[in-house]
Amino acid sequence: MNDHSAALQAKREELLRSGVEMLDPAAVYVEPQVTVGRGTLLLPGTILRGETRVGEGCQLGPDVMLTGCQVGDGCVINASQCEESVIEKDCQIGPYTHIRPHCTVGEGSKIGAFVQLKNCTLGKGTKMAHLTYVGDTDVGDGCNFGCGTITCNYDGFHKYRSTIGSGVFVGCNTNLVSPVRVGDGAYIAAGTTVTGDVPDGALAIGRSRQSNKEGWAAANREKKSKQ
Protein backbone atom coordinates (compact mmCIF):
# COMPACT_ATOMS: atom_id res chain seq x y z
CA MET A 1 0.00 0.00 0.00
CA ASN A 2 1.47 3.38 -1.03
CA ASP A 3 1.38 6.51 1.15
CA HIS A 4 -1.70 7.94 -0.57
CA SER A 5 -3.68 4.72 -0.20
CA ALA A 6 -2.61 4.43 3.43
CA ALA A 7 -3.74 8.00 4.16
CA LEU A 8 -7.07 7.36 2.44
CA GLN A 9 -7.65 4.21 4.45
CA ALA A 10 -6.68 5.97 7.68
CA LYS A 11 -9.23 8.72 6.95
CA ARG A 12 -11.98 6.17 6.34
CA GLU A 13 -11.19 4.45 9.61
CA GLU A 14 -11.15 7.77 11.48
CA LEU A 15 -14.61 8.64 10.14
CA LEU A 16 -16.02 5.22 10.95
CA ARG A 17 -14.77 5.51 14.53
CA SER A 18 -16.44 8.92 14.85
CA GLY A 19 -19.87 7.57 13.91
CA VAL A 20 -19.93 8.11 10.13
CA GLU A 21 -21.55 5.22 8.22
CA MET A 22 -20.36 3.73 4.91
CA LEU A 23 -22.00 0.88 3.00
CA ASP A 24 -18.75 0.14 1.18
CA PRO A 25 -15.77 2.02 2.64
CA ALA A 26 -13.53 1.01 -0.28
CA ALA A 27 -15.86 2.93 -2.65
CA VAL A 28 -15.60 6.22 -0.69
CA TYR A 29 -12.86 8.84 -1.20
CA VAL A 30 -12.36 11.45 1.52
CA GLU A 31 -9.41 13.83 1.63
CA PRO A 32 -7.62 14.53 4.95
CA GLN A 33 -9.00 18.05 5.56
CA VAL A 34 -12.66 16.98 5.27
CA THR A 35 -14.90 16.72 8.33
CA VAL A 36 -18.12 14.67 8.44
CA GLY A 37 -20.68 14.66 11.25
CA ARG A 38 -21.93 11.69 13.23
CA GLY A 39 -24.71 9.65 11.69
CA THR A 40 -23.99 10.74 8.13
CA LEU A 41 -24.16 7.94 5.55
CA LEU A 42 -21.63 7.94 2.70
CA LEU A 43 -22.84 5.76 -0.16
CA PRO A 44 -20.57 4.29 -2.86
CA GLY A 45 -19.03 6.79 -5.25
CA THR A 46 -18.91 9.62 -2.70
CA ILE A 47 -15.89 11.91 -3.16
CA LEU A 48 -15.23 14.65 -0.59
CA ARG A 49 -12.40 17.05 -1.37
CA GLY A 50 -10.66 20.14 -0.03
CA GLU A 51 -12.06 21.94 3.01
CA THR A 52 -15.47 20.29 2.77
CA ARG A 53 -17.52 20.25 5.99
CA VAL A 54 -20.53 17.93 6.22
CA GLY A 55 -22.99 18.03 9.11
CA GLU A 56 -24.71 15.27 11.04
CA GLY A 57 -27.41 12.93 9.80
CA CYS A 58 -26.81 13.53 6.09
CA GLN A 59 -26.91 11.06 3.23
CA LEU A 60 -24.39 11.57 0.43
CA GLY A 61 -24.32 9.47 -2.70
CA PRO A 62 -24.28 7.41 -4.65
CA ASP A 63 -21.93 9.25 -7.02
CA VAL A 64 -21.53 12.61 -5.29
CA MET A 65 -18.51 14.93 -5.45
CA LEU A 66 -18.20 17.87 -3.07
CA THR A 67 -15.23 20.23 -3.34
CA GLY A 68 -14.74 22.93 -0.71
CA CYS A 69 -18.39 22.87 0.38
CA GLN A 70 -20.22 23.37 3.66
CA VAL A 71 -23.22 21.09 4.09
CA GLY A 72 -25.64 21.47 6.99
CA ASP A 73 -27.27 18.77 9.07
CA GLY A 74 -29.88 16.47 7.56
CA CYS A 75 -29.07 17.07 3.89
CA VAL A 76 -29.56 14.46 1.18
CA ILE A 77 -27.32 14.79 -1.90
CA ASN A 78 -27.65 12.23 -4.67
CA ALA A 79 -25.60 11.85 -7.87
CA SER A 80 -24.52 15.52 -7.98
CA GLN A 81 -21.49 17.81 -7.96
CA CYS A 82 -21.07 20.88 -5.76
CA GLU A 83 -18.13 23.26 -5.63
CA GLU A 84 -17.16 25.97 -3.13
CA SER A 85 -20.72 26.54 -1.98
CA VAL A 86 -22.90 26.42 1.14
CA ILE A 87 -25.84 24.04 1.42
CA GLU A 88 -27.83 24.79 4.55
CA LYS A 89 -29.55 22.16 6.67
CA ASP A 90 -32.35 19.84 5.52
CA CYS A 91 -31.81 20.41 1.79
CA GLN A 92 -32.44 17.81 -0.90
CA ILE A 93 -30.05 17.98 -3.83
CA GLY A 94 -30.11 15.87 -6.99
CA PRO A 95 -29.97 13.68 -8.82
CA TYR A 96 -27.82 15.30 -11.53
CA THR A 97 -27.56 18.73 -9.94
CA HIS A 98 -24.49 20.92 -10.53
CA ILE A 99 -23.88 23.65 -7.96
CA ARG A 100 -21.04 25.83 -9.16
CA PRO A 101 -18.89 28.08 -6.94
CA HIS A 102 -20.22 30.90 -4.75
CA CYS A 103 -23.74 29.61 -4.17
CA THR A 104 -25.78 29.44 -0.99
CA VAL A 105 -28.76 27.09 -0.94
CA GLY A 106 -31.16 28.04 1.84
CA GLU A 107 -32.45 25.73 4.54
CA GLY A 108 -35.01 23.17 3.42
CA SER A 109 -34.61 23.87 -0.29
CA LYS A 110 -35.05 21.22 -2.98
CA ILE A 111 -32.81 21.33 -6.03
CA GLY A 112 -33.54 18.50 -8.44
CA ALA A 113 -32.63 16.78 -11.68
CA PHE A 114 -30.58 18.66 -14.27
CA VAL A 115 -30.51 21.94 -12.34
CA GLN A 116 -27.41 24.14 -12.42
CA LEU A 117 -26.75 26.99 -9.99
CA LYS A 118 -23.95 29.52 -10.38
CA ASN A 119 -22.99 32.44 -8.11
CA CYS A 120 -26.44 32.74 -6.57
CA THR A 121 -28.20 32.77 -3.22
CA LEU A 122 -31.44 30.94 -2.51
CA GLY A 123 -33.62 31.58 0.51
CA LYS A 124 -35.32 29.00 2.71
CA GLY A 125 -37.65 26.41 1.18
CA THR A 126 -37.10 27.32 -2.44
CA LYS A 127 -37.77 24.57 -4.99
CA MET A 128 -36.28 23.92 -8.42
CA ALA A 129 -37.36 20.41 -9.31
CA HIS A 130 -35.77 19.97 -12.73
CA LEU A 131 -34.24 21.40 -15.90
CA THR A 132 -33.41 24.86 -14.58
CA TYR A 133 -30.41 27.21 -14.74
CA VAL A 134 -30.07 30.07 -12.26
CA GLY A 135 -26.93 32.19 -12.36
CA ASP A 136 -25.92 35.53 -10.84
CA THR A 137 -29.25 35.78 -9.02
CA ASP A 138 -30.51 36.39 -5.48
CA VAL A 139 -33.68 34.44 -4.71
CA GLY A 140 -35.91 34.84 -1.64
CA ASP A 141 -37.72 32.31 0.53
CA GLY A 142 -40.40 29.87 -0.59
CA CYS A 143 -40.08 30.28 -4.35
CA ASN A 144 -41.05 27.65 -6.92
CA PHE A 145 -39.30 27.41 -10.28
CA GLY A 146 -40.99 25.48 -13.06
CA CYS A 147 -39.14 23.18 -15.42
CA GLY A 148 -37.19 24.85 -18.22
CA THR A 149 -36.61 28.15 -16.36
CA ILE A 150 -33.36 29.96 -17.12
CA THR A 151 -31.70 33.23 -16.22
CA CYS A 152 -30.19 34.90 -19.29
CA ASN A 153 -27.36 36.51 -17.36
CA TYR A 154 -24.67 36.82 -20.06
CA ASP A 155 -24.88 38.92 -23.23
CA GLY A 156 -21.59 37.69 -24.68
CA PHE A 157 -19.61 40.50 -23.03
CA HIS A 158 -20.85 41.05 -19.46
CA LYS A 159 -22.66 39.19 -16.66
CA TYR A 160 -25.75 40.74 -15.09
CA ARG A 161 -27.45 40.03 -11.76
CA SER A 162 -31.16 39.64 -11.06
CA THR A 163 -33.23 39.63 -7.86
CA ILE A 164 -36.26 37.45 -7.22
CA GLY A 165 -38.29 38.10 -4.09
CA SER A 166 -39.93 35.67 -1.68
CA GLY A 167 -42.99 33.57 -2.50
CA VAL A 168 -42.52 33.92 -6.25
CA PHE A 169 -44.02 31.35 -8.64
CA VAL A 170 -42.05 30.99 -11.88
CA GLY A 171 -43.93 29.10 -14.59
CA CYS A 172 -42.34 26.53 -16.88
CA ASN A 173 -40.15 27.68 -19.79
CA THR A 174 -39.56 31.15 -18.38
CA ASN A 175 -36.58 33.26 -19.49
CA LEU A 176 -35.42 35.95 -17.07
CA VAL A 177 -33.29 38.40 -19.05
CA SER A 178 -30.97 39.97 -16.47
CA PRO A 179 -30.87 42.42 -14.88
CA VAL A 180 -34.48 42.25 -13.69
CA ARG A 181 -36.23 42.40 -10.32
CA VAL A 182 -39.23 40.18 -9.57
CA GLY A 183 -41.15 41.36 -6.50
CA ASP A 184 -42.44 39.35 -3.57
CA GLY A 185 -45.40 37.11 -4.29
CA ALA A 186 -45.31 37.67 -8.05
CA TYR A 187 -46.42 35.08 -10.60
CA ILE A 188 -44.76 34.56 -13.97
CA ALA A 189 -46.88 32.78 -16.56
CA ALA A 190 -45.46 29.72 -18.32
CA GLY A 191 -43.59 30.54 -21.52
CA THR A 192 -42.85 34.13 -20.54
CA THR A 193 -39.69 36.06 -21.36
CA VAL A 194 -39.19 38.63 -18.60
CA THR A 195 -37.30 41.71 -19.79
CA GLY A 196 -38.49 44.24 -17.22
CA ASP A 197 -39.16 44.41 -13.50
CA VAL A 198 -42.25 42.66 -12.10
CA PRO A 199 -43.97 44.46 -9.17
CA ASP A 200 -44.85 42.72 -5.93
CA GLY A 201 -47.91 40.49 -6.30
CA ALA A 202 -48.20 41.04 -10.06
CA LEU A 203 -48.70 38.50 -12.86
CA ALA A 204 -46.19 38.80 -15.71
CA ILE A 205 -47.17 37.42 -19.12
CA GLY A 206 -44.77 37.87 -22.01
CA ARG A 207 -45.79 35.58 -24.87
CA SER A 208 -47.70 35.88 -28.14
CA ARG A 209 -51.38 34.95 -28.31
CA GLN A 210 -52.25 31.51 -29.66
CA SER A 211 -53.67 31.40 -33.17
CA ASN A 212 -55.32 28.24 -34.54
CA LYS A 213 -55.61 27.71 -38.30
CA GLU A 214 -58.48 25.29 -38.80
CA GLY A 215 -57.82 22.49 -41.28
CA TRP A 216 -54.19 23.46 -41.82
CA ALA A 217 -52.68 20.13 -40.68
CA ALA A 218 -54.84 17.96 -42.96
CA ALA A 219 -54.26 20.26 -45.93
CA ASN A 220 -50.52 20.28 -45.30
CA ARG A 221 -50.34 16.47 -45.14
CA GLU A 222 -52.25 16.20 -48.41
CA LYS A 223 -49.98 18.75 -50.07
CA LYS A 224 -46.83 16.97 -48.91
CA SER A 225 -48.10 13.58 -50.07
CA LYS A 226 -48.46 14.91 -53.62
CA GLN A 227 -44.90 16.31 -53.80
Strands 41-42 and 21-22: parallel
With beta carbons less than 8 A apart as the criterion, state whether 99 and 84 touch. Answer: no
Q: 152, 175 in Cβ contact below 8 A? A: yes
* Number of Cβ atoms within 10 Å of the Cβ of 129: 15
Given the residues 4, 98, 102, 130, the one annotated as active site? 130
Q: Helices in 81-226 by DSSP H: which ranges?
A: 216-226
| Rounded Cα–Cα distance for residues 17 and 102 (Å) | 32
Whether 130 is a known active-site residue: answer: yes
Give how far Cα 192 sits from Cα of 11, 26, 171, Å. 50, 49, 8
Torsion of CA 184, 94, 193, 139, to 10 degrees: 30
| Cα–Cα distance, 118 to 184 (Å, whole number) | 22
- Residue 75 CA to residue 208 CA, distance in Å, equals 42
Instruction: Please tell me whether residue 103 adopts helix, strand or coil conformation.
Output: coil
Residues 6+ apart with CB under 8 A from 36: 15, 18, 20, 30, 42, 48, 54, 58
Catalytic site residues?
130
